[in-house]
Amino acid sequence: MNERVVIVSGGSRGLGQGIVEALIARGDRVATFSRTRTAFVDGLIERCPERFYWAAVDASDGAQLKAFVTDVYRRFGGIHGLVNNAGVSADQLIAMTTDEEIDRLLDVNLKSVLRLTRDVSRVMMRQKHGSIVTISSIIGTRGFKGAAVYAATKAALDGMTRSVARELGPKAIRVNSIAPGFLETDMTAGIPEAQRAQILRRTPLGRFGGVAEVAALVLFLLGDEAAFITGQTITADGGLTC
């Protein structure tokens, strides 16, 4: 497992960037995708062309996802880890939510994860080895005003995790999810000041999380240190839900 190949969805910025950075620092080979190429992606392509691969993929397009997995397998000769990280949020009361918005969140946050997990699991089943980590959210279990569709997708990911863990355990493939609380990324940048202050008051550690803190948990779950852990959702939220 020293020369692992890990796919990370949405590794161009935010939490995905933190996960890619941590994996590259560990010595892994990392393949990631997003719709937009960022300065972070440009820098890694230049610095580590043999160990880093990025492609423009829209996660809501199943054919693009499948082609990406095939491409990564051909390029690196195996896939040991999958981190389902890409996701989008929306701030909209349920009564105001359009069909288009429901479809957009289900496509990116849920259907793409099911498809990517299916496509990668076929490779891992042949290898009889692998670890899958999916980023859900505490909002999936605790709810948040204005996040009904987002919460529905994240709760579904935890359900998927438990079912797939049962299916793939006999093939030595572990499947877990991480439910972060509020992190300092683009996704939370628009939270109004009053709401941010309320979240901080309710968080025992009194701050939002850093992406490196969740990335460290991802690396733990991917690795052999977590060899007996599967089907679990681990919360990292500064104590907000305790």
Ligand X SMILES: NC(=O)c1ccc[n+]([C@@H]2O[C@H](COP(=O)([O-])OP(=O)(O)OC[C@H]3O[C@@H](n4cnc5c(N)ncnc54)[C@H](OP(=O)(O)O)[C@@H]3O)[C@@H](O)[C@H]2O)c1
Catalytic machinery residues: 150
Decide whether 57 or 164 has the Cβ nearer to ligand X: 57
Give the interface segment with ligand X, choosing from 69-77, 91-99, 164-172, 177-185 (CB under 6 A): 177-185
> Do the Cβ atoms of 81 and 131 come closer than 8 Å?
yes
Decide whether 172 or 220 has the Cβ nearer to ligand X: 220
Among 30, 83, 183, 226, binds ligand X (CB under 6 A): 183
Among 6, 8, 12, 117, binds ligand X (CB under 6 A): 12
Among 5, 20, 22, 60, binds ligand X (CB under 6 A): 60
Q: What angle do CA 145, 149, 155 make, to 5 degrees?
A: 95
Q: Rounded to 5 degrees, what are φ and ψ at 5?
A: -110, 125
Contact call for residue 76 and ligand X (CB under 6 A) = no
Give the interface segment with ligand X, choosing from 123-131, 158-166, 184-192, 221-229 (CB under 6 A): 184-192
Decide whether 171 or 210 has the Cβ nearer to ligand X: 210
Contact call for residue 156 and ligand X (CB under 6 A) = no
Q: What is the 3-state secondary structure (H, E, C) of 99-135?
A: HHHHHHHHHHHHHHHHHHHHHHHHHHHHHCCEEEEEE
Burial 87-102 (b: 16+ CB within 10 A, else e): bebeebeeeeeeeeeb
> Do the Cβ atoms of 178 and 133 come closer than 8 Å?
yes
> Do the Cβ atoms of 11 and 34 come closer than 8 Å?
yes
Rounded Cα gap, residues 6 and 80, in angstroms: 6
Contact call for residue 14 and ligand X (CB under 6 A) = yes
Q: Where do contacts with ligand X occur on this chain (CB under 6 A)?
A: 10, 12-16, 33-36, 57-60, 85-89, 108, 135, 137, 180, 182-183, 185-188
